[in-house]
Amino acid sequence: MLILGLDPSLSSTGWGVIRVEGARLSHVANGQIKTDPAAPMAERLAALQAGLAEVIAAHRPDRAAAEEIFVNKNPQSTLKLAQARGSVLAACGAAGLTVNEHAARLVKKAVTGTGAAEKAQVAAMVKVLLPGVQIAGSDAADALAVAIADAHLAPRG
């Protein structure tokens, strides 16, 4: 089974694909979809959706997973995150993928053992759990962590 982990963001959406065979996990691919901050919002959202559609077509995951949305102190940031997330979920829906959602603290706990882990701890554990992985950036590391957590937390099948 292939799981696509997602870390949606308007500026840089991280993605990571892992293979799950029983209890064994292996890295397939990872990357980041970046948008032009000077571009209009609709163009940025379309770029996210198109970029993710390319990733899905290339890797053919069986399902996807994303962190649940969280509310920032800045309402504008929360709104932009929600819009980016909607674009990413639309790409998954158009491809017929089920998307499991997990709380950020649960993802961190599944990967590092503590729900209060810092980004660097998460990235370090991703490298331990997926030996030899070359991570494309912090957003890609977070996306791989979501995929790993989903492999452990979501129902099998």
Catalytic residue annotation: 7, 67, 139
Is residue 15 within 8 A of residue 129, CB to CB? The reply is: no
Taking the CA of residue 125 as centre, how many other CA atoms within 13 Å lie in the half-sphere pointing to its CB?
Answer: 22
Count CB-CB contacts under 10 A for residue 116.
9
Q: How far apart are CA 99 and CA 89, in angstroms?
A: 8
Closest CA to 146 of 109, 120, 114, 116: 109
Q: How far apart are CA 91 and CA 5, in angstroms?
A: 13
Q: How far apart are CA 59 and CA 84, in angstroms?
A: 21
